[in-house]
Amino acid sequence: MRVFLLLFCLFAIPHTSFSAPPNILWFVVDDMSPHFSCYGETLIQTPAVDKLAAEGTRFTRAYVTAPVCSACRSALITGMYQTTIGAHHHRSGRGEIKIHLPEGVRPVPELFQKAGYFTCIGSGLPDADHRGVAFGAEKGRKKGGGSRLGKTDYNFEWDAKMYDSHDWAGRGEKPFFMQVQLHGGKLREGDEKARATFQQRVISELGSATDPQKVALPPYYPRDPVLLQDWALYLDAVRLTDQHVGRVIARLEQERLLENTLIIFMTDHGISHARGKQFLYDEGTHVPFVVRGPGIARGAVRTDLIEHIDMAAISLAAAGLPIPAAMQGRDVFAKDHQPREAVFAARDRCDETVERLRSVRTDRFLYIRNFHPQRPHLQPNAYKDGKAIVQTLRGLHEAGTLPSVAEELLFSPTRPAEELYEYQGDRFQVTNLAANPDFKAQLEAHRAKLDRWITSSADKGPESEAMYDSDMVEYLKKPNPEVARNIALMKQWAKEGK
């Protein structure tokens, strides 16, 4: 440790003037868009995240490179595009055929551990889990039993030893690299009884629940009672997440660790909804991204485009550690940092449902390419079709009572091969400009930019039939007729060239 401290002092880093190496703490939250008051949400208040933003730097245009948990997390933990490392299909590599990282690519915790850091992943609280609920309160878990490690969900093979613990308490004299993994938007999920129980928890802990009638929905979602109630519960999940963040910050402060800890707050993709999670519109890819800590400007707001994989490079640089040459994430706080002209995202197979979408976003435009335009937006998927909100939307569609914008964007039997949105003026990406001759130049420029990225980043593309079959064996170990039907449909559509 003395050698580590000596080296750190000799090679001072630009992020901090502290004489000791900084701790690194990530908040990674499930299924949540930037619905925080510091990002403009007015129906609820989020004082803890707001305070982080006031004491640090808030990015207004941060985007994930994958809008689904496992692909996003495979990217963030390596600082690499999931499409480059072959980890882009959701919950892939879980069957007989495994995925291994390319030579020279290592998970970030390994890099920190090798440098002398204590690596941990958990809830950030000694007495509560990822839901903010006391350990032992989870169904099927004995009090004090079970693993307290946080969510990983990586699609590649990795060594569990890269995490020393679920908490930084056992670090001794070492600095720590901690991931606080929170349940986020998933808190509101479950059957009707589970949602009612969640609402009672909100009232008990926060004093009141959000009024569904005051909720503002995107224009393509009808103001149906089920959707309004779900969105209200989602906002309450944001409030509980904020409360958890506040408790972790208070702990850092109490232990006199706060001022020498670099904190990054982000979410792994947007809200889980019909056009959010799993899709490349703002609702699925735009995330909050706040950085606070030694050397970070206080109260700053940055509008440059960044990708969530940048958190890997930011963190290594803050610790004075070298950023691997192959790493695609960038230290956006480096003195010589050149803001990106574009950011990229990809969506591929999610569970049993085969898909391939790619996007490029520049300062003004979002371009999306659909590689399966003959398939509907809401392809059959057991996970999404099990949600009350999707069931409600499908019911309204079948009854013919959906507004025209919802019919067009959610239930058209086919999709355009290309989509182009002037997303800053078209907040919800409703008006596709791809066929508008006035935007032909922009369409061609973005088409070419995406083509170059696919080639330069070595996008691994479609999943092989062998890999799909290998992973579907795992899905079918728990008999599910719906999943089996969907797998058969995927294979049928593939044969038909759809």
13 occurs within a structural domain: no
Residue after which a domain boundary falls, among 347, 367, 383:
347
- 207 and 177, same structural domain? yes
Per-residue pLDDT tens over the stretch 365-418:
999 999 999 999 999 999 999 999 999 999 999 999 999 999 999 999 999 999
Per-residue pLDDT tens over the stretch 299-341:
999 999 999 999 999 999 999 999 999 999 999 999 999 999 9
28 occurs within a structural domain: yes
4 occurs within a structural domain: no
- 313 and 188, same structural domain? yes
Residue after which a domain boundary falls, among 347, 378, 409:
347
- Quick one: pLDDT at residue 137? 64
- Quick one: pLDDT at residue 138? 52
365 occurs within a structural domain: yes
Token digits of residue 174? 């070492």
Average pLDDT over all residues of the chain: 94
- 289 and 174, same structural domain? yes
103 occurs within a structural domain: yes
What CATH number does the domain containing 334 carry?
3.40.720.10
Nearest alpha-carbon partner for 332 in 241, 417, 343: 343
CB of 217 closer than 8 Å to CB of 230: no
H-helix segments, 64-191: 69-76, 108-114
- 413 and 395, same structural domain? yes
Per-residue pLDDT tens over the stretch 46-55:
999 999 999 9
- 425 and 315, same structural domain? no
- Quick one: pLDDT at residue 472? 98
Sequence-distant (6+) residues with CB within 8 A of 451 are none
- 289 and 368, same structural domain? no
Token digits of residue 351? 């569970």
341 occurs within a structural domain: yes
- Weakest-pLDDT range from 11-20, 120-129, 239-248: 11-20
**From edge to edge, which strands make up the β-sheet containing 343-347?**
343-347, 357-361, 366-370, 418-421
- Quick one: pLDDT at residue 147? 79
Per-residue pLDDT tens over the stretch 437-450:
999 999 999 999 99
- Whole domain around residue 77: which residue ranges? 22-347
Per-residue pLDDT tens over the stretch 180-200:
999 999 999 999 999 999 999
- 445 and 302, same structural domain? no
Confidence label for 230 from pLDDT (cuts 50, 70 and 90): very high
Q: How many domains does the chain have?
A: 2
Cα distance between residue 45 and residue 496, in whole Å? 50
Would the pLDDT of 146 be above 60? Answer: no
Strand partners, 122: 180
- 294 and 412, same structural domain? no
- 469 and 332, same structural domain? no
Phi first, then psi, for residue 34 (nearest 5°) are -75, 55
- Quick one: pLDDT at residue 135? 85
- 412 and 299, same structural domain? no
- 363 and 293, same structural domain? no
Sequence-distant (6+) residues with CB within 8 A of 231 are 212, 215, 217
Residue after which a domain boundary falls, among 325, 347, 369:
347
**Which one has a higher pLDDT value, 89 or 13?**
89
Cα distance between residue 59 and residue 290, in whole Å? 6
- 427 and 372, same structural domain? yes
